[in-house]
């Protein structure tokens, strides 16, 4: 179990011992047994699959599954006693691994040796062509299927690799020998060649754009050749080209071996998993009365709890209705203040979205309704009848809450946020005779710099509304002129302030993502 306790049964006696808890902790909460994954599960959901073996020793293929089919943060454990594999990763990768296990776990594989050989510089088709020439010359037969004698070679173009199944281990070693001899870069060669690079974490199109911007305008050194008879020199300009193979997400690079070596080093540094940012946003409207009459920031500074502090980023002055930005240094104290306002019915949570977005990408959320608004009105007169016809055009405007956030991660856990927030409400039109509602907008646009897990409070967007209340005696209050003696009219002014609390959390790896997911699960269960 999660406490690391292992129970084994032997001779009808249960033995209790402490096992390795860390292996249990790496299992997902969603556990399946077998080789079939329900279609309803999201491709990016993390699950644990217990995969049984029927014929093959799983030790032979365990390392291949981990290296070529699972992510770097995946967990795989071979429970040899019961011939099962515990695999924890996202659904998309596990499906690939299960397809590979289905291919290998057949009766004919029971006494065979297997391996996957990855190629770095030469493409898999060219290497296979050379092997078909070299292996028979060494007395090794190339099999067509698993029932043939010899070595079965299956290309995996997506990985630029070869799957080898052999009756003898030394035949696999022979293929590995030729791989070391042929899969190299001859840096002394100045003749352009074709190289294949398969990205592991990035989109090939993005990498192709970067390479082209850096290297397209760089002219390679010309090649000088001496002709023995003419004793003259001839120079030729090497060509350079990068093609994005979108279907297989790979780069086809045509250049010299020396230049490709430079490109390869750069691309390996770029081909890393992008970081993500979890953005927690709370949008609330606070009624400004009693202790809050001077604004929310004033309340925090003068009426808040002790040991509470905010660092002001800048404001336009209390009461001016300008934007106020404050960094929250005490989450627990701030939450207690929000709970206090909720008990007094002074706060209305409009929205509390949580967005997960890639570094330097924009996340958007729109919660609201579309309101019909009169956009144009024309009158036309019929010359025959003299009647006038009114034609009106209506367009729909989005109202409610519109939020756009773009995070950019910097070093040392610091990130900048570009925030665009609009809260709009349709209002009765009291300024004209046009039969169309007015839309009251409160818009916020800002750029801020925060640390991961640090909260930013934005406020100062104040709205004032005037309410009219009529109290009257039934029937008598409706009498023209005299009815005014039996009714009273009162006016009230209400002020509200829109506040926005933004808290970004940098997700550096899968563990950070799991921690965030668990915290949300606890939050849902507690509610």
Domains and CATH numbers, the chain: 18-110 (3.30.1370.120), 193-223+235-270 (3.30.1370.120), 277-361+412-425+440-526 (no CATH)
Q: Under a CB-based contact definition with an 8 Å cutoff, are residues 437 and 464 in contact?
A: no
Q: Dihedrals φ, ψ of 369, to 5°?
A: -130, 160
Q: Dihedrals φ, ψ of 182, to 5°?
A: -100, -30
Provide the pLDDT for residue 406: 92
Residues 62, 511, 65, CA angle at the centre, nearest 5°? 15
Provide the pLDDT for residue 227: 40
Provide the pLDDT for residue 174: 92
Provide the pLDDT for residue 87: 92
Q: Under a CB-based contact definition with an 8 Å cutoff, are residues 299 and 291 in contact?
A: yes
Provide the pLDDT for residue 490: 74
pLDDT digits (tens, 9 = 90+) for 355-399: 888 888 898 888 778 888 887 777 777 777 777 777 778 888 888
Give the contacts of 386 (CB within 8 A, at least 6 positions apart).
none
Give the contacts of 33 (CB within 8 A, at least 6 positions apart).
49, 50, 52
Report the DSSP pairing between strands 31-33 and 46-52: parallel
Chain mean position to CA 286:
33
DSSP state of 129: H
DSSP letters, 362-387, are -EEEEEEEEEEEEEEEEEEE-TTT--
Provide the pLDDT for residue 407: 92
Q: Which residues pair with 346 in a beta bridge?
A: none
Q: Dihedrals φ, ψ of 474, to 5°?
A: -55, 140
Provide the pLDDT for residue 147: 75
How large is the angle between the packed helices 124-137 and 169-182, nearest 10 degrees?
120
Q: What distance in Å separates the CA atoms of residue 464 and residue 459, rounded to the nearest whole number? A: 15
Q: Under a CB-based contact definition with an 8 Å cutoff, are residues 242 and 252 in contact?
A: yes
DSSP state of 302: H
Which pair of tokens denotes residue 174?
Answer: 């022979």
Report the DSSP pairing between strands 113-118 and 324-328: unpaired
pLDDT digits (tens, 9 = 90+) for 138-172: 888 888 887 778 898 888 887 788 889 888 889 99
Residues 515, 519, 520, 524, CA torsion sign: positive
**SS3 readout for 161-199:** EEEEEECCHHHHHHHHHHHHHHCCCCCCCCCCEEEEECC
pLDDT digits (tens, 9 = 90+) for 178-188: 998 888 776 66
pLDDT one digit per residue (tens) for the chain, 527 residues: 445 566 665 555 555 665 544 444 466 678 888 888 888 888 888 899 999 988 888 888 888 888 888 888 888 988 888 889 999 999 989 998 998 888 888 777 767 888 888 887 788 888 888 898 899 988 888 888 877 788 988 888 877 888 898 888 899 999 999 998 888 776 666 778 888 888 888 888 888 988 888 876 544 444 444 444 343 333 334 578 888 888 888 888 888 888 888 888 888 888 887 888 888 888 888 887 776 766 666 676 665 444 344 443 443 333 333 444 556 655 555 666 777 777 777 788 887 888 888 888 898 888 778 888 887 777 777 777 777 777 778 888 888 888 889 999 987 788 898 988 888 888 777 667 677 788 878 787 888 888 888 888 777 667 777 667 778 878 777 788 777 777 787 777 777 878 888 888 888 766 665 665 566 555 545 55
Q: What distance in Å separates the CA atoms of residue 362 and residue 211, rounded to the nearest whole number? A: 24
Residues 407, 413, 419, CA angle at the centre, nearest 5°? 20
Residue corresponding to tokens 């404050």: 326
Q: Under a CB-based contact definition with an 8 Å cutoff, are residues 376 and 370 in contact?
A: no
């Amino acid at each position: 179990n999660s406490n690391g306790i292992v129970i084994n049964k032997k001779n009808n006696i249960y033995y209790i011992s402490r096992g390795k808890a860390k292996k249990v902790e790496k299992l997902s909460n969603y556990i399946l047994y077998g080789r079939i994954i329900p279609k309803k599960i999201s491709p990016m959901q993390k699950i644990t699959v217990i995969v049984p073996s029927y014929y093959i020793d799983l030790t032979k293929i365990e390392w291949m599954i981990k290296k070529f089919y699972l992510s770097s943060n995946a967990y795989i454990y071979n429970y040899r006693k019961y011939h099962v594999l515990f695999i924890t990763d996202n659904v998309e990768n596990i499906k690939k691994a299960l397809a590979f296990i289905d291919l290998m776990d057949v009766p004919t594989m029971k006494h065979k040796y297997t391996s996957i050989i990855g190629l770095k510089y030469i493409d898999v088709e060219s290497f296979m062509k050379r092997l078909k020439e070299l292996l028979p010359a060494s007395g090794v037969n190339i099999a067509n299927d698993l029932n043939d004698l010899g070595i079965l070679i299956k290309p995996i173009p997506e990985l630029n690799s070869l799957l080898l199944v052999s009756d003898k281990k030394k035949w696999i070693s022979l293929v590995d020998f030729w791989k070391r001899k042929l899969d190299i870069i001859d840096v002394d060669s100045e003749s352009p060649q074709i190289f294949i690079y398969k990205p592991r974490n990035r989109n090939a199109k993005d990498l192709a754009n970067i390479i082209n911007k850096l290297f397209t305008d760089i002219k390679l050194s010309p090649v000088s050749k001496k002709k023995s008879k003419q004793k003259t020199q001839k120079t030729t300009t090497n060509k350079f080209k990068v093609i994005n193979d979108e279907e297989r997400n790979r780069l086809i690079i045509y250049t010299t071996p020396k230049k490709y070596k430079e490109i390869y080093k750069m691309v390996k540094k770029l081909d890393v998993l992008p970081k993500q940012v979890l953005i927690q946003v709370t949008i609330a409207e606070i009624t400004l009365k009693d202790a809050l009459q001077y604004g929310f920031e004033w309340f925090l500074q003068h009426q808040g709890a002790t040991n509470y502090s905010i660092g002001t980023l800048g404001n336009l002055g209390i009461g001016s209705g300008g934007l106020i930005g404050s960094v929250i240094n005490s989450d627990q104290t701030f939450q207690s203040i929000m709970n206090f306002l909720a008990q007094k019915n002074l706060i209305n949570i409009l929205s509390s979205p949580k967005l997960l977005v890639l570094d330097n990408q924009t996340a958007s959320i729109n919660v609201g309704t579309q309101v019909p608004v009169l956009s144009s009105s024309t009158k036309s007169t019929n010359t025959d009848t003299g009647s006038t016809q009114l034609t009106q055009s209506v367009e729909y405007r989005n109202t409610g809450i519109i939020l756009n956030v773009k995070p950019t991660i910097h070093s040392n856990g610091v990130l900048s946020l570009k925030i665009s927030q609009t809260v709009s409400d349709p209002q009765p039109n009291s300024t004209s005779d046009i039969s169309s509602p007015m839309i009251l907008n409160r818009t916020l646009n800002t750029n801020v710099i925060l640390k991961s897990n640090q909260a930013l409070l934005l406020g100062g967007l104040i709205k004032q509304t005037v309410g009219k209340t009529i109290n009257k005696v039934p029937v008598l209050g409706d009498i023209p002129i005299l009815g005014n003696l039996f009714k009273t009219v009162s006016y009230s002014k209400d002020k509200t302030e829109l506040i926005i609390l933004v808290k970004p959390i940098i997700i550096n790896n899968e563990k950070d993502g799991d921690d965030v997911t668990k915290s949300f699960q606890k939050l849902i269960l507690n509610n």
